[in-house]
Amino acid sequence: MINIFWLRRDLMLEDNTALSHALKEGLPVMPLFVFDTNITDEMPENDPRISFIYDTLSGINEELRKTGSSVRLLRGDPSEIWESLTASFNINAVYINKDYEKHRDHPAVDRTSYLSPHLRFGTVSIRKIARIAAEQNQVFLSELIWREFFMQILCHFPNVVTENFKRAYDDIRWRNDESEFKRWCSGETGYPIVDAGMRQLNETGYMHNRVRMITAGFLCKHLLIDWRWGEAYFAQKLLDYKLSSNNGNWQWAAGTGCDAAPYFRVFNPDTQQKKFDPEKEYIRKWIKDADSSHYPMPIIEHDFARRRAIEVYQAGIKSYSK
């Protein structure tokens, strides 16, 4: 019988609460780290974050070898990995450190602050909220900082309202298919996580932040529709619409903004759904026929769309450099 100590975003041996509790029971402890392919498959090759994690784990292994132990490194879907582990080992308990990130990326879990409309219309003090966030929630504070950052970008670079912040993307040949844009607007793309987000927006004037990123990236990269079309649609619908944030986030999703997502990062909507809405709770709330034959087929196949987007972006950048 063993205990498993699952390392996630707590890559250290000293002052590690979960490890300390795992060792107290006197059973052998297996340190475990899982390279989650739901995440790594969407990252570019040779991503420095992967290298950093691997180097850190190598250092941890050096320390563990002194006691005759090591970290078991596995790669794959965590749910499948745990099925294999429970079949192979007599596991007494699994110890993990609580991850204080605000379920924040899971749209079915109602853990967002809903402060954005109040910040938009000035019914609360940004300074007061920032002080509270600094004391209680650093992740929320970082979101507030992004909000202020985009305001500064708009102030100093007002041309971003209608132009790419990174002019190297000016020659991208957007397809701008109006029929596909309408399907995206109405939540009928055939990708449930995208459609649920758009239907939530249309019905409530709100959309979960993680889903905003997914829907925006889908429009720009899967459908190759100009980010300005999507930004304008969000501007019509969002209760918390703020020009600087809307513009900054759309250019981030399109890869054209300051500190934007790289153009070759094309999120797989199916993978995003499995990661952030695995039980389809969010999807079923907004799409009543999600599992029926009436639900539309995908508007485009992901792998094809990803290849096409990368080719079009590369061609646009190359054309600009000439």
Instruction: Return the sign of the alpha-carbon dihedral for residues 11, 38, 51, 213.
Output: negative
Domain locations in the chain? 2-95, 116-321
Residues 63, 82, 137, 143: which is the catalytic one? 143
Rounded to the nearest 10°, the torsion over CA 199, 309, 272, 112 is -60
> What element of type H or E holds 6?
strand 2-7
Q: pTM for the full model?
A: 0.64
The tokens 């196949």 sit on which residue?
Answer: 301
Long-range residue pairs from 138-141, CB within 8 A, at least 24 positions apart, any chain: 139/100, 139/101, 139/102, 139/104, 140/102, 140/113
Residues 6+ apart with CB under 8 A from 249: 150, 212, 213, 216
- The token duo for 100 is 């204080």
Structure-token pair, residue 309: 């987007």
At 9 the pLDDT is 74
Cα–Cα distance, 57 to 39 (Å, whole number) = 18
How far is residue 82's CA from residue 135's CA, in Å, rounded to a whole number?
Answer: 36
What string of DSSP letters covers 169-225? GTT------HHHHHHHHHT-SS-HHHHHHHHHHHHHS---HHHHHHHHHIIIIIS--
Active-site residue 247, yes or no? Answer: no
The active-site residue, picked from 6, 184, 229, 250, is: 250
Half-sphere exposure of 279 (CA within 13 A, CB side): 6
Among residues 80, 209, 281, 301, the one annotated as catalytic is 209
d(CA 195, CA 216): 12
Q: Pick the catalytic residue: 146, 163, 188, 202?
A: 146
Distance CA 14, CA 18 (A): 11
- Given the residues 227, 229, 252, 286, select the one marked as catalytic: 227
CATH of 2-95, one of 3.10.620.30, 3.30.70.660, 3.40.50.620, 3.40.50.300: 3.40.50.620
pLDDT in the model for residue 179: 98
The per-residue pLDDT for 100 is 43
DSSP alpha helices (H): ranges in the chain? 17-24, 37-40, 48-65, 78-88, 116-121, 126-136, 138-156, 178-186, 192-204, 209-217, 227-237, 243-254, 269-276, 281-286, 302-321
Residues of the chain short of pLDDT 70, as ranges, are: 43-45, 48, 98-101, 103-127, 129-143, 321-322
Q: Does the annotation count 250 as an active-site position? A: yes
The torsion defined by the Cα of 299, 303, 308 and 310, in degrees rounded to 10, comes to 130
What pLDDT was estimated at residue 97?
81
Instruction: Look up 227 and say whether it is catalytic.
Output: yes
Active site residue 146: yes
| Active-site residue flag, 143 | yes
Give the pLDDT confidence of 23-73 residue by residue, as tens digits: 998 899 999 999 888 878 776 667 767 787 888 889 889 999 988 899 999
pLDDT for position 98: 66
Whether 229 sits among the annotated catalytic residues: the reply is no
Give the pLDDT confidence score for residue 101 in this predicted structure: 44
Which fold does the domain 116-321 belong to in CATH? DNA Cyclobutane Dipyrimidine Photolyase, subunit A; domain 3 (1.10.579)
